[in-house]
Homo-oligomer: A and B are copies of this chain.
Amino acid sequence: MDVPMTSPQVQPTHEQPLYQRLADHYRRAIDNGVLAPAERMPSVRNLVRTHRVSLSTALQACRQLEDDGLIEARPRSGYFVRAKHRTVMLPASEPDLGVLPGPANYVGIHDRVSEFIAQCERHTTSINLALAAAAPEQYPAEALKQAMIRAVRQHPTMLVDHVPPHGHPELRTVLARRALELGMNLGPDDIVVTHGCIEAVNLALRAVARPGDTVAVESPVYFGLLQILESLGMRALEIPTSPQHGLSVDALELALQTHPHLRAVVVVPNFQNPLGCVMPDTEKARLVRLCERHQIALIEDDTYGLLCDDNQLRPAIKSWDHTGNVIYCASMHKTLAPGMRLGWMTGGRWAARVAMLKFAQSRSNEPLAQVAVAEYMGSKAYDRHLIRLRRQLKSQREHIAEDVARYFPPGTRLSMPEGSMLLWVEMPGQRSSTKVFERALAHGIRIAPGTMFSNSDRYSHFLRLSCGSPYTPQMAQAMRTLSDIVAEVG
């Protein structure tokens, strides 16, 4: 034993299986530097003896640490603490606040996205770095399955009963309670359950603006939002957004001088897609006041807010709102269950109009899934799941970032987000992300080219890499291949 053991025995608790407690024990040792990089882990046999655990528990703990990228197995030598490379890389370039593209001819993003999907479908994908969701095994499939079966059994006529409006009361109650943690004081009646955050943002935009109106969005911004605006006949005014601090409130203020008739601002303040940045609290507060002063509706999309590495939730912009000028939208999609398509929103001073539009657009969501999710989200298991998911995403993101730092051409820039699963990679020398995308596809690797995140072509030398999947040897190989492609394209 080359490490002093402070806890002679690792006790199981109700919250965590034994192997996880054991893994956490060594995780702390590695984080503290007690176990330094390249140092040898205690052997599995040693773990069994020291902690009086079974062989299988010791093995599981090692595998967990390996999955998390903290240790690596060397043939015939056991496990070693992995080196933290953290190669120094410049953060992605800050935008030029002076350059404000006019509301571009917003028709066309759907064609780009369709072309992207069509191209993807023509190739077999083995590694998907384009999908902004964690891998299925990182969500609590079994617990949700059981909750669903219980819901069906406990409400045997729910599938055939008339659906009550606005969403199921149990889910709305849980959501209101969870919203407290984000700084919002909502009652269940303030909440409308929607078909994903996508429907919520649709309803929010339809509530505050009309076709032909101009809406300010971050730049770069997730293509889903550009598609929504295009489909609604609204114009996107792209506001410079910092890879470090999010939407530039200064730039927005500037934009208001030339675009006084802006109807709304849509913002993803926490772990923005694709940048991964979080707006500082001061800027969130400034944005709320600015929008109030100019009577511009502020639509907050908090899809990724819960996925913070440090388990410290960032407050919602809505928590600074005292006039009802902020519409808050969120989803259970990225955080809990991609296959359930549940989202929610609170409409602020447009609540009645939002309720009307939801009723006219799709009626209320079917209640069964809501009951199942309410049960799970009301339990401690949900908190444990979030903690686990955050840890996994952090580890996966760090692995991919490390590979970018190591293998991408010099001059590559990247800002490290503090949560969620996205990396926004700036390639040097104006490399074409479309070419990288196409060549990567031919190798079975999917990435999202920067051209999909703006109506302009400003981001054609960027890539969005989603780190939702476990870092496996295949993933490591794919990152090497991708690096080669980026180098070639240059």
A interface residues with partner B (beta carbon < 8 Å): 110, 114, 117, 131, 133, 136-137, 139-142, 144-145, 148-149, 152-153, 156-163, 165, 195-196, 198-199, 202, 206, 210-211, 224, 227-228, 230-231, 233, 337-341, 356-357, 359-369
Contacts and interface: CB of A to CB of B under 8 A. Distances in A.
Given A139-B160, A149-B149, A160-B337, 4 more contacts: A114-B356, A159-B339, A231-B360, A368-B369
Contacts of A361: 198-199, 202, 228, 231, 361
Nearest to A142: B156
| 9 residue pairs, one from A and one from B, having the closest CB atoms | A139-B160, A231-B360, A195-B362, A199-B362, A341-B366, A159-B339, A227-B360, A141-B160, A136-B160
A133 B162 contact: yes
Given A196-B362, A198-B361, A148 B139 contact: no
B339 A228 contact: no
- Most chain B CB within 10 A, of A131, A162, A369, is at A162
Contacts of A148: 148, 152, 159, 368
A328 to B, nearest CB: 18
Nearest to A110: B356
B339 A365 contact: no
Nearest to A133: B162
15 contacts: A131-B162, A136-B162, A139-B160, A145-B156, A148-B148, A148-B152, A158-B339, A159-B337, A160-B339, A161-B338, A163-B341, A195-B365, A196-B363, A198-B362, A228-B360
A170 to B, nearest CB: 15
Contacts of A198: 360-363
Nearest to A341: B366
Given A149-B152, A341-B365, A362-B202, A144 B131 contact: no
A376 B438 CA distance: 42
Contacts of A339: 157-163, 366-368
A127 B338 CA distance: 40
A365 B366 CA distance: 11
A50 to B, nearest CB: 36
A366 B337 CA distance: 10
A330 to B, nearest CB: 15
A354 B155 CA distance: 34
Q: Is the interface of A mostly helix, strand, loop or mixed?
A: helix
A141 B156 CA distance: 7
A231 B356 contact: yes
A358 to B, nearest CB: 10
A160 to B, nearest CB: 4
A137 B86 CA distance: 63
A148 B157 CA distance: 12
A362 B360 contact: no
- Most chain B CB within 10 A, of A114, A148, A153, A211, is at A148
B163 A202 contact: no
A109 B293 CA distance: 33
Contact of A161 (B114, B136, B195, B366): B136
A462 B365 CA distance: 32
A290 B144 CA distance: 52
A359 B227 contact: yes
- Most chain B CB within 10 A, of A114, A148, A157, A159, is at A159
Contacts of A210: 211, 233
A158 B144 CA distance: 10
Contacts of A202: 360-362
Contact of A357 (B153, B206, B231, B338): B231
Contacts of A136: 157, 160-162
Contacts of A363: 195-196, 198, 341
A140 to B, nearest CB: 7
A474 to B, nearest CB: 18
A303 to B, nearest CB: 13
A156 B224 CA distance: 28
Contacts of A359: 227
Contact of A338 (B149, B162, B211): B162
Contacts of A199: 361-362
B230 A360 contact: yes
A136 B367 CA distance: 15
Contacts of A365: 195, 341
Contacts of A145: 152-153, 156, 159
A157 B141 contact: yes
